[in-house]
Structure 1
Amino acid sequence: MILENRTLAELQPGDTAELRRTCTADDLFAFAVTSGNHNPMHLPGEDGDDDPTTEAVAPSMWVGSLISAVLGNVLPGVGTLYRSQSFEFLDRAHAGDDLVARVTVLAKAEDGTVRLGTEVVRAGDGSVIVRGEATVLAPRIKHRFEDGDLPGLVVQRHRHFDALLERAEALPPIGVAVVAPEEPNSLGGALLAARHHLIVPILVGARARIEATAREIGASLGGIEILDVADHGAASNAAVDLVVAGRAQALMKGHLHTDELLRAALRKENGLRAGRRFTHVFVMDVPGLSHPLLVTDAAINIAPDLATKVDIVQNAIDLALSLGIEEPKVGVLSAVETVNPAIPSSVDAALLSKMAERGQIKGGIVDGPLAMDNAIDIGAARTKGIESRVAGRAEVLVVPDLDAGNMLAKQLAYISRAEGAGLVMGAKVPIILTSRADGEKARLASCAVAAIHHARVSAVPVRGLAAE
């Protein structure tokens, strides 16, 4: 946008200008971080006065700052500097309100100062939120400025996981066999999910180590069942036995190697095989992305062949459907967006796309090969001339191999500040895989995803999601 000022000579009493702005939840978070004002009255989802409703009241100084945007951008515009500003706050704005900031020239002086009436009103009903007067030093020289090079701002907020938690907390908690929760992160994550009424944990492992860990983190194990099995392989088998007996509806990995847990789940007698390959799905909440992003397979299948990729795609579609994505758009990734026989992943991608067209993969729209840029960015897809219902809009990304998937998931986590819930699909029950590096949000979200998926396959109504 090109900004052009109005000089002191051009200004006349009665001149007026305004800008319109919608107050968003992200505005309130950004203001809290930049100002240091963490009053919960101004934070979405928080209750600041124990009434007990959440207020999300826009900070008065944030509302007042909208006036400075009119002064600096429009009237007088580029080159304007504040001398003084008075405020009288008459009402409150909230997240979701459309606001109009308006200034009117009252008088100007030869020393370059200009006095302006200022106000911010609610667009819907015209009620005045704040009014006052500003004195500014107006520019004397005509100037234009292009603001397109300003850095963007992405609020590091995980709204998709917040929504998943809300949905899962409305469901009955599921029984979860937690294997070897013998260090603070794994035990703490299970107990946190229990406090949020997502799971009823059964702790399977060395009782002495579990109890010592509970003392270390200051947690109570009162009312929680513990099966004392010291060996990790035996603990994994005992946890699978709980599922087979119907006492648990999911498994959760604690402080043990993934292959020990999966070996028990894959055993031929009384195991958890369900006719498909076990595949891993990350559900990523990427700040700034308007939907959850599923990445698969980044943890189990190292170099999957075409048959395994069919199961990878189908498992991911099934999970996406459970999460409420009505027709999941699956982008099969390669280094290029055209089929190249020298790049096997591009050939596999094309075959998977055709198999979906022929009904061999069901429930979603599959397209590939797609490169990462044109899978998730509509502008990149259009630049490449790709016309597809998936290109630029992918909700599921299928990677060529574990190397690529692991790198992608960790780039999203450590560079884009995404949170990732992890679930193994293809078994009779969901298997919750968490990493020692996972934070509380990721651990909670993993349990929430498992509970929501269990509800769908068990035909339990899920608030806000379409039951299948």
Structure 2
Amino acid sequence: MPLDADAPQNPPPAFSKTFDDVAVGDTVSIRRTVTPDDIYVFAHASGNLNPMHLPASGETGDAGQHPAPSMWLGSLFSAILGNLLPGPGTLYEAQDLRFLGRAHAGDDLNVTVQVTEKRPPATIVLRTQIFRGEEILVDGKAEVCPPAERQKIGDAAVPDITIARHRHVTRLLAACKALPPMPTAVVSPEDESSLLGPLEAMQAGLITPILVGDAAKIRAVAAAHNAVLGDVEIIDIASHDLAAARAVELVHEGRAAAVMKGNLHTDVLLKHVVKSQGGLRGSRRISHVFVMDVPHLHDLLLVTDAAINIAPTLEDKVDITQNAIDLALALGIPVPKVGVLAAVEVVNPKMPATLDAAALAKMAERGQIHGGIVDGPLAMDNAISLAAAKTKGLISSVAGRADILVVPNLEAGNILAKELTYAAQAEGAGIVLGASVPVLLTSRADDATARLFSCVTAVLYESWLRTGQSAVPPAPAA
């Protein structure tokens, strides 16, 4: 019978049971709710990558839309046998299972084992069942060898596991489905990463690339990696400098709505972007933003400026902050919360970063920075951790909840963004703002997801520039 929903759960016994301690009819049941993480962990532990259980590449949604692997269900019996009945020291001898139904994420399961037979000298037979409500999903029989002596149950030291799921990449990609492909001038895509990235984005319906560079090199790279160029337009210009200039011209001609860096130095491209005559400069200083999808954090985290402005002045930081707020609005954050970082959360006249932070916060209060809430100085911990902010006694609508981190200088931002990428398994998109169109600065070290994420970010920002409205539905509440 399934476990009574109102029945108390079996508390862990102080000791495991030996063969003599166990009686026919002894029954233990536990409750377990299936989560998407269970399915991902099982895939890693078992090596079972059956697409029946996992989302396909680029599929929106989560593993919870797919049935849990049957053998994951079967593994739940070991939680009872190894912990409760007979308990620690038990060894499996055999297990028969019959799968009568499928479980999905969100299902509440009752896992039950009952002793049906004792076979001397040391084998215990148990019926093993899993129910979802009154429906039986799994029925079977286990044979185990209990411990020869009672063993005291202690606290096992099990390391924590973090599932590096980048749900925001998936969510923002889904928001782009309703938008037309963005015509994008790709400058000198003459190596693997700079060519395959735009082609992958084209296949995903994000961009329509115009390849501006050495045509022979572009075609050679495509052939070497079995990439199909099809009818993709190629403008044959061997010089990186001239290719960058032509890409900017394509924007002025109305043929391109964004510019993407290929296999050339960043300064060569930006030289033409920032030209006072014929460039793409707007009214603000150009700045860079990393958009980070961090598995530990519920919301997106934007880091600025980590790539262009080396030692920004207060005046520079006003534009850097405003650019980042605009991008956050484009990405569906209704009221972006901006934390201006320093080493401490109090104003110290000997630390210029704290003075700049306090000035930016006051300027936002007076409407000189608009569209978001700005507070600072904030240390990194109390900018993103409510617990840290509470410990410090900070009263702020930003502390512990920051969507945007404004760093004091390029070194700090670059270190922070790379630490999030390589130590916290974040996925990051890079984009240059403040020009008349988005400029994508992709890196050789970017994986396929990062390149796609940068294109997603640019498409959503370009749409916001055109319409003044975000194409992104509100993110799920925490």
TM-score in terms of structure 1 length: 0.90
- 2:29 corresponds to 1:21: no
Classify the secondary structure of the residue corresponding to 1:128.
Answer: strand
Correspondence for 1:141 among 141, 144, 150: 150
What is the match of residue 289 of structure 1? 297
**Structure 2 CA distance for partners of 1:46 and 1:409, relative to 1, 3 Å:** closer
Shift in alpha-carbon separation, 1:451–1:378, aligned structure 2, 3 A: same
Kindly provide the CA deviation profile for residues 60-107 of structure 1, in whole angstroms up to 9, marking residues without a partner as x: 110111121133333443443333322111101123323232223445
| Residue of 55, 64, 67 corresponding to 2:74 | 64
Deviation track 1:386-408 (CA, whole Å, cap 9, x = no partner) reads: 33332222222221111011111
| Counterpart for residue 82 of structure 1 | 92
CA contact (8 A) 1:174 1:249 kept: yes
Between the aligned partners of 1:143 and 1:452, the Cα distance in structure 2 is 58
Asked whether the equivalents of residues 463 and 471 of structure 2 are also in contact (C-alpha less than 8 Å), the reply is no
* Residues 359-390 of structure 1: per-residue CA shift (max 9 Å, x gap): 22222222222222222222222232333332
Task: Name the CA distance, whole Å, in 2 between partners of 1:194 and 1:69.
Answer: 47
Distance 1:460 1:21 in 2: 46
Q: Give the secondary structure class of the aligned counterpart of 1:144.
A: coil
- C-alpha distance in 1 between matches for 2:134 and 2:144: 26
Preserved CA contact (<8 Å) 1:5 1:79: no
User: Are the equivalent residues in 2 in contact too, given 1:46–1:54 (CA < 8 A)?
Assistant: no
- 1:278 deviation in Å? 0.7
Q: Give, in whole Å, the separation in 2 of the partners of 1:394 and 1:30.
A: 30
Question: Do structure 1's residue 262 and structure 2's residue 277 form an aligned pair?
Answer: no
| Aligned-partner Cα distance in 2 for 1:367–1:129 | 53
Aligned amino acid, residue 127 of structure 2: G
Correspondences of 1:94-133 after superposition (within 5 Å):
94-107=104-117, 111=121, 113-122=123-132, 125-133=133-141
2:7 is matched with which residue? none
Q: CA deviation at 1:202?
A: 0.9
Deviation string 1:234-258 (CA, Å, 9 cap, x unpaired) is: 2112111111121111110011111
Q: Return the match for 2:257 from 239, 246, 249.
A: 249
- CA shift, 1:199, in A, is 0.4
Q: Which amino acid aligns with 2:75?
A: S
Is residue 380 from structure 1 mapped to residue 391 from structure 2 by the alignment? no
Q: Secondary structure at the match of 1:397?
A: strand
Matching residue's letter, 1:223: D
Superposition map of 1:255-334 within 5 A: 255-334=263-342
CA distance in structure 2 between the aligned counterparts of 1:209 and 1:444, rounded to whole angstroms: 23
Instruction: Give the whole-Å Cα distance in 2 for the aligned partners of 1:261 and 1:100.
Output: 61
Q: Which residue of 2 aligns with 1:39?
A: 50
Q: Counterpart of 2:110 in structure 1: which amino acid?
A: V
Name the structure 2 match of 1:410.
418
Q: Is the 8 A contact 2:330 2:472 kept in 1?
A: no
Q: Which amino acid aligns with 1:143?
A: K
Picking from 444, 464, 467, the partner of 1:459 is 467
Structure 2 residues not aligned, in runs of 5+: 1-10
For 1:306 and 1:252, how far apart are their aligned partners in 2? 29
Q: Does 1:362 align with 2:370?
A: yes
Question: Residues of 2 paired with 1:2 and 1:377: CA distance?
Answer: 34
Whether the aligned pair in 2 keeps the contact of 1:3 and 1:146 (CA below 8 Å) is no
CA distance in 2, matches of 1:227, 1:30: 47
Instruction: Write the distance in 2 (CA, Å) between the matches of 1:97 and 1:133.
Output: 23
1:200, 1:116 → 2: CA distance? 62
Structure 1 residue 349: Cα displacement: 1.8
Question: C-alpha displacement at 1:205, in angstroms?
Answer: 1.6
Instruction: Tell me the TM-score normalized by structure 2.
Output: 0.89
C-alpha contact 1:173 1:200 (8 A) present in aligned 2? yes
Give SS of 2:393's match.
Answer: coil
SS of 1:411's equivalent in the other structure is helix
| Secondary structure at the counterpart of residue 224 of structure 2 | helix
What is aligned with 1:209? 217
Question: In the alignment, residue 38 of structure 1 is paired with which amino acid?
Answer: L
**For the Cα contact (< 8 Å) 2:94–2:142, is it kept in 1?**
yes
The 1-side partners of 2:216 and 2:292 are apart by 35
Which segment is superposed worse, 8-17 or 222-231?
A: 8-17
The one-letter amino acid paired with 1:436 is R
Q: Count residues in correspondence.
A: 459
Q: Is the 8 A contact 2:460 2:471 kept in 1?
A: no
Shift in Å, 1:201: 0.7
Distance of aligned partners of 1:221 and 1:311 in 2 relative to their CA distance in 1, 3 Å threshold: same
CA distance in 1, matches of 2:24, 2:400: 50
Please, what is the CA RMSD of the aligned residues? Answer: 2.6
From the superposition, tell whether residues 357 and 72 of structure 1 become closer, same or farther in structure 2 (CA, over 3 Å): farther
Q: 1:434 aligns with which of 442, 450, 461?
A: 442
1:117–1:132 CA contact under 8 A, matched in 2:
yes
* Aligned partner letter, 2:324: A
Question: What CA distance in whole angstroms lies between the structure 2 residues aligned with 1:358 and 1:460?
Answer: 23
Q: Which amino acid aligns with 2:38?
A: D
Structure 1 residue matching 2:290: 3-state secondary structure: strand
Q: One-letter code of the match for 1:317?
A: I
2:5 is matched with: none
Say if 1:46 and 1:270 are closer, same or farther in 2 by CA, change over 3 A.
closer
Shift of 1:461: 7.2
Q: Secondary structure at the match of 1:321?
A: helix
Is contact 1:252–1:431 with CA below 8 Å preserved after alignment? yes
